[in-house]
Chain A
Amino acid sequence: MPAQANQPLPEGYQLLNYRLMRVLASGGFSFVYLAHDENDTPVAVKEYLPSSLALRVNGSAAPLVSDENLPTFRYGMKCFFEEGRALARLMHPNVVRVLNFFRANETVYMVMRYERGRTLQAHIQEHRGALGEPWMQRTFVALLNGLREVHSNKLLHLDIKPANIYLRNDGTPLLLDFGAARQTLSHEGVRLPPMYTRGFASPEQHAQRSNLGPWSDIYSVGASMYACLAAAAPQPANARLQQDRLIPAREAWAGKYSDTLLELIDRCLRLDYLERPQSVFELQKALLAGRRPAPPRHVAFLAQAKRALLRLARRAH
């Protein structure tokens, strides 16, 4: 059967100690619900439900999985576990926090802290190419703090894209959806099916997965920054390997953003992984280096006036 839209669990459904309020997001592999726990604390509950393998239909909470699909359904479950394993170890303000993980309705669920805000994808949709340089710097430097934590746990995210970057209402970013995350050292992780998004995945993810490394996530960060400016995904890496038609950021937005930022985006998007920043730290340093050095003149004048007043006050004492 072709992929059919699956039905979410109904509003008000009691899933262990969580009461489902509404669907927050749905994708090919899962539903994410807003739910309230027994203390009425809002949480986000992610349900493993690949629509090509498991069909939920009227009136039954457990999805129908044909005998033929059952092995693949369970195999996909392993990826979901991999996500749980990855996130359980990560405690960082810029990484989504997992609270619980359990089995029910013949599938598995992951409970995460609910954050108010929206995805970077929605933010781009609304602003369409009108994201300023200070905003880009602030957001990506903070996001990279989260990614640094991921990498220092010997994990790669491997699916960084605006839809998987969440912006809290206060503007701080958060890395979401570790469904593609793989432990670089675990044998099982390597054997699980690679997952990626065209346009954001590095060339290594399409071919030569033995070359995966922090630079692969860095490619995706570059692609996400590019998408912020272009309001469109860059040309997919495998197509670029055939014929590179990606217009460098340096050419596309010259004069609208600093050369430092545009060059950095282009450097992240290099096809040869050795030419990209090799670590998140290196990338962060480069991003911060692009911060405008001299403050605007009227601010400098105010600062001078403030200092002069303080001097006067000190002398008066």
Chain B
Amino acid sequence: MRYSIFHTSRIGARRTNQDRLGYWRTSAALLMVVADGMGGHLHGELAAELAVEHCAGAFRRSARPRLADPGAFLLHALAGGHAAIVRRAAELGLAETPRTTAVACVVQDGTAYWSHVGDSRLYLVREGRLLARTRDHTPVQRLIDAGRIREEAVPSHPDRNKLLQCLGGDPPPKLEPANSASLTKNDIVLLCSDGLWGPLTPSQLLTGLLARDLERAVHGLVELAETRSGPECDNVSVLALSWGEDEVPAARAQTYQEPPTVAQDFTATEPDFLRTSDAEIDRAIAEIKAALRKHSRNP
């Protein structure tokens, strides 16, 4: 596996840095994790540290040197991180369980797999275009998804710091199945806390990554985030990977995968034919139902 990684974590204008990050590798697999301990709750940094440590421990145990199922590994690692936090809180007799967000990514066989809890994010960028990004577990993301507010309005939204899910929270987080994408040369996988993406507009983040040198790009982004948030600046943490290999050709991939069905010229048609009225849709459905009735007399 050929890749380069850069990371940085800055305290911003806070008294403590409650972000934790790290990456671990074997000859065949790579794990990257960023966790953002929650300041509103006590011992946020403890939760972040436990989450990252737990993922690292699980990786060291399971990656020999490959992970059998990277998607399942991520879910187990994050769920285990949550359990570790709850356990430690009980041992220490803490009145409130410390909480943290987490985003974790495994790269194996030229494919990136990721999962997350909360509002720490993963961006997958190819040639300056956003290929994928995690969707925050926040009320604000729900508003965006429902089309009620625009992405740009997030920094000023009163609920911007609220989370729907976190590690250490009650009820425990509902983990979503891991996403995955196959990487191609020069793809960038960026994991970050909200201290980075919060103050930046989506296009600032993408243009910032266009710089030829990933290290300089990452530092440029962190500085821009710090400048834009001023005296309010949160901890800013970034872990970025630049992939150095061509896409694994399908025939040589570990599992047999078929190319997907594609549609040709989906839009290149005269506008008249494109238009489909509700009445036409209903008519088509009625036709199909009639055909079904006619042909299924003997079910």
A residues neighboring B (CB under 8 Å): 1-2, 4-5, 27-29, 57-60, 64, 71-72, 74-79, 81, 84-85, 88-91, 98-103, 108, 121, 124-125, 128, 159, 161-163, 177, 179-180, 191, 193-200, 227, 230-233
Does the CB pair A194–B146 fall under 8 Å?
A: no
Minimum distance in angstroms from A109 CB to a CB of chain B: 10
Give the residue name and chain of the B residue nearest to A72 (CB): B267
* In the bound complex, CA of A147 to CA of B295 (Å): 18
Could you tell me which residues of chain B, from 262 to 299, have a CB within 8 Å of some CB in chain A?
262-267, 269, 271, 273-276, 281-282, 284-285, 287-289, 291-292, 295-296
With A2-B131, A72-B266, A89-B295 as known contacts, state yes or no: A28 contacts B260, CB within 8 Å.
yes
Q: Which residues of B contact A98 (CB under 8 A)?
A: 292
With A60-B146, A103-B281 as known contacts, state yes or no: A233 contacts B262, CB within 8 Å.
no
B residues neighboring A (CB under 8 Å): 129-132, 135, 141-142, 145-147, 179, 250-251, 255-256, 258-267, 269, 271, 273-276, 281-282, 284-285, 287-289, 291-292, 295-296
Q: Which residues of A contact B259 (CB under 8 A)?
A: 197-199, 233
* In the bound complex, CA of A163 to CA of B288 (Å): 25
Does the CB pair A27–B142 fall under 8 Å?
A: no
Does the CB pair B260–A75 fall under 8 Å?
A: no
With A78-B276, A108-B285 as known contacts, state yes or no: A85 contacts B291, CB within 8 Å.
yes
Does the CB pair A91–B296 fall under 8 Å?
A: yes
Lowest 9 CB-CB distances: which A-B pairs, in order? Answer: A57-B145, A88-B291, A232-B251, A74-B276, A71-B274, A84-B288, A81-B284, A101-B288, A125-B256
With A59-B146, A191-B273 as known contacts, state yes or no: A85 contacts B288, CB within 8 Å.
yes
Q: Which residues of A contact B142 (CB under 8 A)?
A: 57-59
Q: Which residues of B contact A102 (CB under 8 A)?
A: 285
With A81-B288, A163-B258 as known contacts, state yes or no: A196 contacts B264, CB within 8 Å.
yes
Does the CB pair A121–B145 fall under 8 Å?
A: no
Give the residue name and chain of the A residue nearest to B142 (CB): A58
With A81-B284, A232-B250 as known contacts, state yes or no: A197 contacts B274, CB within 8 Å.
no
Q: Which residues of B contact A230 (CB under 8 A)?
A: 251
Give the residue name and chain of the B residue nearest to A78 (CB): B276
* In the bound complex, CA of A90 to CA of B282 (Å): 22
16 other A-B residue contacts (CB within 8 Å) besides A84-B288, A99-B292, A231-B256: A28-B261, A29-B261, A57-B142, A57-B145, A60-B145, A75-B276, A76-B263, A84-B285, A85-B284, A98-B292, A102-B285, A121-B256, A159-B261, A177-B261, A191-B273, A227-B258
* In the bound complex, CA of A85 to CA of B291 (Å): 8
Does the CB pair B285–A101 fall under 8 Å?
A: yes
Give the residue name and chain of the A residue nearest to B267 (CB): A72
With A72-B266, A75-B274, A121-B256 as known contacts, state yes or no: A101 contacts B261, CB within 8 Å.
no
Minimum distance in angstroms from B169 CB to a CB of chain A: 18
* In the bound complex, CA of A200 to CA of B251 (Å): 14
Does the CB pair B266–A74 fall under 8 Å?
A: no
Does the CB pair A5–B179 fall under 8 Å?
A: yes
Does the CB pair A77–B281 fall under 8 Å?
A: yes
Q: Which residues of A contact B141 (CB under 8 A)?
A: 58
Q: Which residues of A contact B130 (CB under 8 A)?
A: 1-2
Does the CB pair A197–B269 fall under 8 Å?
A: no
Does the CB pair A193–B292 fall under 8 Å?
A: no
Q: Which residues of A contact B261 (CB under 8 A)?
A: 27-29, 159, 177, 179-180, 195-197
Does the CB pair B274–A233 fall under 8 Å?
A: no
Q: Which residues of B contact A199 (CB under 8 A)?
A: 258-259
Q: Which residues of B contact A121 (CB under 8 A)?
A: 256, 258
Does the CB pair B266–A198 fall under 8 Å?
A: no
Give the residue name and chain of the B residue nearest to A122 (CB): B256
Q: Which residues of A contact B179 (CB under 8 A)?
A: 5
Does the CB pair A197–B284 fall under 8 Å?
A: no
Give the residue name and chain of the A residue nearest to B141 (CB): A58
* In the bound complex, CA of A57 to CA of B273 (Å): 29
Does the CB pair B129–A193 fall under 8 Å?
A: no
Contact of A194 among B250, B263, B276 (CB under 8 A): B263
Does the CB pair A74–B250 fall under 8 Å?
A: no
Q: Which residues of B contact A163 (CB under 8 A)?
A: 258
Q: Which residues of B contact A193 (CB under 8 A)?
A: 263-266, 269
* In the bound complex, CA of A197 to CA of B296 (Å): 31
